[in-house]
Amino acid sequence: MGTKHFLTLLDLSNADLLAIVQRAMQLKRQPEQARGLPQKTLGLIFEKSSTRTRVAFEVAMTQLGGTALFLTAADSQLGRGEPIEDTARVLSRMVDCIAIRTFEHAKLERFAEYSTVPVINALSDDFHPCQLLADMQTFMEHRGAITGKSVAWIGDGNNMCQSYINAAVAFDFELRIACPPGYEPSAELIEKHGDRVTLMSSPATAVANVDLVVTDVWASMGQEAEQAKRRASFADYQVNSSLMELANSRALFMHCLPAHRGEEVSAEIVDAKDSVVWDEAENRLHSQKALLEYLVSR
Ligand code: CP
Ligand code: NVA
């Protein structure tokens, strides 16, 4: 069997994804139950900023008895043009797992092709699967199984939105996506998963009676130059109290963070009683610990 990577949720079976989320819930309650990864090293290559993902991986490795090694492209030879294929082969001979945050998803795929140790997508322009493990854990902790529930994604058809499409398939829920024209997720993904996913332009229609409302920034990392243009295009796509009122009365609100209050979400919603954004952030630690246990102690 080849090396197991986690570049998108669909790299793992539905059963394994659910097992990782359940294990994360258990490790949160009983951290002493972790199998531990003594002597193991996780390499972290980050070409974009991060608070949660980086801290969760570093703390997870410390708690598991291993080590995390943080590398920025600028400080390593990658930044000076050493080929990805060579970097992958070299690091594979020294570390036990590598998490990468980068721009083009294809770069991750190329790295993984040459890596003999598991590669984790710590966010690419197209997908952010680690965040979805935490989101699924958070929903299940608050409301039980997500299977058969309905979720509204409001805003940009970005890496998080595309990961929700994969999650809808893997965890079997209905996903309604409301995006302004021109900012939809990949047409190929929508078409492929049309049985779980519906694309619409009206946020009000998307949130009607759903169990979970999710949004994310209007301009992702790498799109800073488009910020003003995007602010205008997304003006009608803010998650605020009047939009949340249309959802199911027990609907949760999630945001992967960092949030821009007053843009994609109003300040009162971030701190509302059904907002679970802080649990969602904490669960990055527990779910990434469960993921590392799964990938590294195989
Ligand atoms: N949600 C998330 O991935 O946060 P960071 O960019 O801080 O890692
Ligand atoms: N869509 C955002 C997510 C940040 C965690 C970005 O890519 O910047």
pLDDT tens-place string over residues 27-63: 999 999 998 999 999 999 999 999 999 999 999 999 9
**Structure-block tokens of residue 151:** 């979720």
Does 256 qualify as catalytic in the annotation?
yes
pLDDT at 2: 84
The ligand that comes nearest to the alpha carbon of residue 49 is 1
> Is position 3 within any domain?
no
State the amino acid at position 297 in one-letter form: S
Query: Virtual CA dihedral for 161, 162, 163, 167, nearest 10 degrees?
Result: 100
Give the DSSP per-residue string, 168-206. Answer: HHHHT-EEEEE--TT----HHHHHHTTTTEEEES-HHHH
H/E segment holding residue 45: strand 41-46
**Does residue 257 sit in the same domain as residue 165?**
yes
* Location of structure tokens 């469960």: 290
**Does residue 202 sit in the same domain as residue 268?**
yes
Does 196 qualify as catalytic in the annotation?
no
Atom 3 of ligand 1: nearest residue by CA position: 53
Does any ligand 2 atom lie closer than 6 A to the CB of residue 220? yes
Question: Total structural domains in the chain?
Answer: 2
Helices (H), the chain: 14-29, 52-63, 84-92, 105-114, 129-143, 159-171, 187-192, 203-207, 227-233, 241-244, 267-270, 277-296
Taking residue 158's Cβ as centre, other Cβ atoms within 10 Å add up to 22
> Is position 156 within any domain?
yes
Mean pLDDT within 18-33: 97
pLDDT at 238: 98
Relative to the CA of 101, which ligand 1 atom is closest? Answer: 8
Cα 122 from Cα 71, distance rounded (Å): 13
Contact call for residues 28 and 286 (beta carbons, < 8 A): yes
Q: Is the pLDDT of residue 298 over 80?
A: no
> Is position 200 within any domain?
yes
Mean pLDDT within 101-127: 98
**Residue of 23, 52, 105, 128 marked active site:** 128
Q: Which strands form 197-200's sheet, in the order they lie side by side?
A: 197-200, 174-178, 150-154, 212-215, 252-255
**Does residue 136 sit in the same domain as residue 26?**
no
Say how many Å lie between the CA of residue 98 and the centre of ligand 2. 20
Residue 164 domain boundaries: 131-280
Atom 1 of ligand 1: nearest residue by CA position: 256
Read off the CATH number of the domain in which 102 is found: 3.40.50.1370
**Does residue 124 sit in the same domain as residue 68?**
yes
| 61: three-class secondary structure by DSSP | helix
Does 125 qualify as catalytic in the annotation?
no
Atom 6 of ligand 2: nearest residue by CA position: 220
Mutual angle of helices 52-63 and 129-143, in 10-degree steps: 80
**Does residue 56 sit in the same domain as residue 143?**
no
**Residue of 101, 176, 196, 255 marked active site:** 101
Contact call for residues 124 and 104 (beta carbons, < 8 A): yes
Question: For the segment 228-250, what is each residue's pLDDT rounded down to a tens digit?
Answer: 999 999 999 999 999 999 999 99
Q: Is the pLDDT of residue 116 over 70?
A: yes
Taking residue 211's Cβ as centre, other Cβ atoms within 10 Å add up to 19
> Is position 2 within any domain?
no
**Structure-block tokens of residue 195:** 């049985």
Residues in the ligand 1 pocket, defined by CB under 6 Å: 50-53, 123, 131, 256-257
Relative to the CA of 220, which ligand 2 atom is closest? Answer: 8
**Structure-block tokens of residue 297:** 């102690």
How much is the mean pLDDT over the chain? 97
Say how many Å lie between the CA of residue 255 and the centre of ligand 1. 10
The ligand that comes nearest to the alpha carbon of residue 280 is 1
pLDDT at 136: 99
Does any ligand 2 atom lie closer than 6 A to the CB of residue 163? no
**Does residue 81 sit in the same domain as residue 151?**
no
**Structure-block tokens of residue 61:** 């490795």
Say how many Å lie between the CA of residue 161 and the centre of ligand 1. 15
Does 161 qualify as catalytic in the annotation?
no
Say how many Å lie between the CA of residue 256 and the centre of ligand 2. 8
Does 93 qualify as catalytic in the annotation?
no
Does 101 qualify as catalytic in the annotation?
yes
Q: What is the DSSP letter of 73?
A: G
**Does residue 213 sit in the same domain as residue 275?**
yes
pLDDT at 75: 85
Contact call for residues 61 and 288 (beta carbons, < 8 A): no
Question: For the segment 51-108, what is each residue's pLDDT rounded down to a tens digit?
Answer: 999 999 999 999 999 999 999 888 899 989 999 999 999 999 999 999 999 999 999 9
